[in-house]
A and B are shown apart, each in its own frame.
Chain A
Amino acid sequence: MTSEVKIPDPLDLDREEEARLRQVAGLPPAKTAVGEYAGFESVGLPERPPQTEREREVYTLEEGEMLVNMGPQHPSTHGVMRLVVKVRGEVVTDIDPVLGYLHRGIEKLCEEATYTTVLTYVDPMDYLSTMHNEHAPAIAFEKLFGVTAPRRAEYIRALVVELNRVFSHSLMMGFLALDMGGITPILYGFINRDEIVDMLSAISGQRMLFNFFRVGGVNWDTNDEFLSRLGTWRSHVLKNVEMSERVITDNEVFRSRTIGMGTLSGRDAIALGVTGPNLRASGVAFDVRKAHPYSIYPELEFEVITQPGGDSNARYLQRIAEIKQSIHLIDQIVDKMPHGAVQAQVPGIIRPKPGRAYAAIESPRGLYSVYAISDGGPNPYRFRMRDPSFISLQAIPKLMPGRLIADTMAVMASFDPVMGGVDK
């Protein structure tokens, strides 16, 4: 015998809850979506009044619109990030990125650490460009302490940094294709990456968080394993890059989903603070290695590469051009590498004179800079990091309205953000 208990429809409960929340928030009552979208109007509405004008704008729905959460565990968000996407059917009308899922407070932790240990804390920030993360603090602290690294150390730094750039860009090529449904290129990307990671682990002792830079030099000199791996890698790297290129570049699906997609003009890119390959793909020749040369870059021959397009395809082509440029730089560095020490003599606990130092470098994602203030003590009084992918992320909500929801991930992947860096 069955009892006649009426089970409430969960969608009705959602509507009641939404009506209550809207009343609390002072928002107008929701207009009901029609047809197949009925019942999904309340997804993503925060349980509090909107705090700003912009938040009210995002969370106020027009007729036929709804909010979709993309993330935080979405596989193609390159980390842990949530995009609140407002859609009308399949067309994006607004995007609100919600950050902080990976926030570890690295800046605050660095203010409690000695200058030497800061270089270990910055490693897991942008975990695909670990060497770059250490480079800028090393330069800033050397400025503060008034010491220069020996020339061989500077050459080794430039070498590992360019190797890191190559593997970061190879991975970006793979991830971009993966976000459009292509599985093969990411495998090539990881093959290319692993060769370089094995090489860097031979010189630094770690596979991912290298912890290789020191204030006043680097931790180890080159060794036989590193050099032999470098030679082997160099003998076939161009062939590998061309192989990945052949898989992706002329692919019809890839071209139709990247050309004309997410077009960012140079003027907008500058206003938004977009840097690095993404800015150069919009035709602006800004590269910190040329603009404010650091380390040994004044001694190397290279030109700043730019692309005219400004779309996803231009950003991809820019990465390939930069991989080849980095290989060219690595050749020059190995040719010119001098003999000598790799570490200046600095005390275990560094106490710089009170002062301020700013150091900026070109990371694979753009301008990565450190502003360090010393008060004469053993740890930095203030340690500020400007991460390029954090700032570049602001371009996504500007570019996506009017596009399909499936292209959001593809355009985001072309900007190559890393959430470890975005969230610090």
Chain B
Amino acid sequence: MVDLRRSWRAADRLGRRRALTAPAKAGALVRLLLDRFPDLAPGLWTDEDTVEVVIEGERNVALLGALRDDPELNFFFLADAAAVDYGPTERFEVVYHLYSDRHPAWLRVRARVNRADPHVPTITGLWEGAMFHEREMFDMMGIVFDGNRDLRRIYMSPDYRSFPQRKDFLLPDDAADSSAAGVRPLERPETWDLTRLSDELAPGVITHAEAEAEVKP
């Protein structure tokens, strides 16, 4: 006879493995989403407590507005909005996490953005609180939110020119560079030259010099 208590203890010690495929906790939500937006089916994916859909960036206001205003979906709360950089040859994604009191799952909307010309419509018309999220994304990733009336840097100083959370913004103390050189390169001011990234400036960003040139003919 198997000693159940003992095997549970062993499982506790080893850490129970979670099932990698999700149980259908959010089955009703998935059915409802497919009913309302059949074209979302290709990007639909579920986790144990998240349902994920993928859209093109320009569609964000229409979809998020529909998700918010539909009484059966009722995703009235924007929990998070963040940008992800999938590398210099790939794309950006603006990821929204929504909360609804009708469904036991978070809804994640991944909006794809062209990395060469990163423009997305703003959602500050839907949720005023998206302002700081969008300012942070602009500051860190250089994504321009069209229609946002206060899109300026929020953490870095206004004359800063790079976008630090992009994947091609390398930290100077990258493991490949710091071969036991004593002082970490990050602490040496001569490595702080970031002008090599100056051509990374996203369209729509006005630098200090350009702005001065504009007003001084």
Contacts and interface: CB of A to CB of B under 8 A. Distances in A.
Interface of A: 24-26, 46, 48-49, 51-55, 99-100, 103, 105, 107-108, 112, 142-143, 146-152, 216-217, 270-274, 286, 291-292, 340-341, 344-346, 353, 356-358, 360, 367, 369, 371, 373, 382, 384, 386, 390-391, 393-394, 423-424
Interface residues of B, number: 59
B11 to A, nearest CB: 9
Interface stretch (B12-20, B31-39, B113-121, B189-197): B12-20
B82 interface: yes
A391 B165 CA distance: 20
A286 B77 contact: yes
B165 A107 contact: yes
B84 A382 contact: yes
Contact of A358 (B77, B106, B155): B106
A386 to B, nearest CB: 4
B154 interface: yes
Given A24-B215, A340-B9, A100 B15 contact: no
Interface of B: 9, 12-18, 20, 47-50, 52, 76-80, 82, 84-85, 95, 97, 99, 101, 104, 106, 108, 127-133, 140, 149-159, 164-165, 171, 174, 206, 208, 211-212, 214-216
B205 to A, nearest CB: 9
B15 A273 contact: no
A360 B150 contact: no
B152 A291 contact: no
Lowest 9 CB-CB distances: which A-B pairs, in order?
Answer: A344-B15, A273-B129, A54-B150, A100-B155, A272-B129, A384-B82, A103-B155, A386-B80, A150-B12
A105 B139 CA distance: 12
Contacts of B18: 142-143, 146-148
Given A24-B212, A53-B150, A99-B154, A393 B132 contact: yes
Nearest to B166: A108
A268 to B, nearest CB: 8
A360 B98 CA distance: 12
A106 B156 CA distance: 14
